[in-house]
Amino acid sequence: MHDAPSKKIFRLINALPMGICAYLLCPSPSLASAEVCQQPGNYSHLSLAYYSYDESAVAGNIGHIKQENHHFDLQYKLSETWGFGVGHRYVILGVDPIELQTNGHLHTLYFPLHKQTDSGDTSFRFSIAPALSASSNVMKDAGEYSSDSFQLLAAFIWSTKLSERATLRFGACGDSRFGDYQLYPSIGIDWRPRTDVTIELGFPTTRLTYRAQPDIDLSLRIAPDGNEWHVKSKDLQKESQLVVEAFLLEGTVNWRARKQLTLTASIGRQFHNRYDVVLYDDSRARLYADSVTRIGAALEWRF
């Protein structure tokens, strides 16, 4: 039986050196999975991102895993209350020399809708997003879709102002950031001890942001980084669920190059990596891989 997600992440944080824990402080986005738990930006934007992973050895010396991620997000802010958009996560996953049932080209396409209501020092956000999460040969043919191909991402988040420098957030979210789709609590405290420092301490994600210059932000965060896909073999005769569980510790540099344009560079460490897969011979395998470094680049255009 798997550990509850809350026990997993708190055990991971406690295992980190105390010097690091002092800098890991809130909810921010999971970069592998599509999700709506994070507070969306209060502006319209288009963003693109690319992440490359080092090769990771599978436990038992039975193979190596190579991965790269491509992200696309478009969000349109209709008003102070409503926003909607579209997002796409494309993961290329290769396990050599093991032959998976899928070709390793994994897609998640989702359509988030957000409603935000504010009343004095309190606010409530409801977000929902139907998502199609499947391998490429399933995605390209609607006749191959099934209930296993779809997810319903959702978030119900309340916020209340504790002081001029602190805000409490709490609620519930549903997505696949922990691997299998599940509902889980979301809670956090956003604290600004100084005008140039924001500490966001929470579950499932924690982050510290420091404004080094008026147009440069530095941040460090820890977050679950999993997802789930419905996959089929090349001849479409075999099907299964591919599940990835992982956690990510990542540092980023955000540069506001222009009023509308932000450029981001990142480096992180993905750890506690587990892959539940079905091999081409129909046998199910649980693969554990070494921790791996990833680097990334992203751009965001506001309009």
Read off the pLDDT of residues 166-175 as tens digits, 9 standing for 90 and up. Answer: 999 999 999 9
Q: Please, what sign has the CA dihedral across residues 228, 230, 234, 237?
A: positive
- Residue ranges of alpha helices (H) inside the chain are 5-15, 18-21, 136-139
Q: Around Cβ 183, how many Cβ atoms within 10 Å?
A: 10
For the chain, percent of residues with pLDDT exceeding 70: 89
Q: What is the mean pLDDT of residues 33-59?
A: 92
Across the chain, mean pLDDT equals: 89
Q: Is the pLDDT of residue 10 over 90?
A: no
pLDDT band at residue 14 under the 50/70/90 scheme: very low
As a dihedral over the C-alpha atoms of residue 49, residue 287, residue 280, residue 95, rounded to 10 degrees, the angle is 50
pLDDT in tens, 115-161: 999 998 999 999 999 999 999 999 999 999 999 999 999 999 999 99
pLDDT in tens, 60-114: 989 999 999 999 999 999 999 999 999 999 999 999 999 898 889 999 999 999 9
* More confident of the two residues 15 and 146: 146
Element (H, E) at 30: none
| Residue 24: both structure tokens together | 């890991």
0.75 exceeded by pTM? yes
CA 64 from chain centre, in angstroms, equals 23
- Class of 5-302 in CATH: mainly beta
pLDDT band at residue 22 under the 50/70/90 scheme: very low
* Of the listed ranges 49-58, 229-238, 254-263, the one predicted with least confidence: 229-238
Q: What is the mean pLDDT of residues 189-218?
A: 96
> Which residues, other chains included, contact 202 with Cβ-Cβ below 8 Å and sequence gap of 6+?
26, 27, 169, 186, 187, 188, 189
Query: What does the alpha-carbon distance between residue 171 and residue 289 come to, in Å, rounded to a whole number?
Result: 33
> Which residues, other chains included, contact 120 with Cβ-Cβ below 8 Å and sequence gap of 6+?
none
Contacts 24+ apart (CB under 8 A), 139-144: 139/107, 139/109, 144/232, 144/236
> Which residues, other chains included, contact 156 with Cβ-Cβ below 8 Å and sequence gap of 6+?
124, 125, 126, 171, 172, 173
| Residue 194: both structure tokens together | 């100084």
- pLDDT on residue 33: 55
Query: What does the alpha-carbon distance between residue 258 and residue 218 come to, in Å, rounded to a whole number?
Result: 17
Per domain, the residue ranges of the chain are 5-302
C-beta separation of 67 from 93 below 8 A: yes
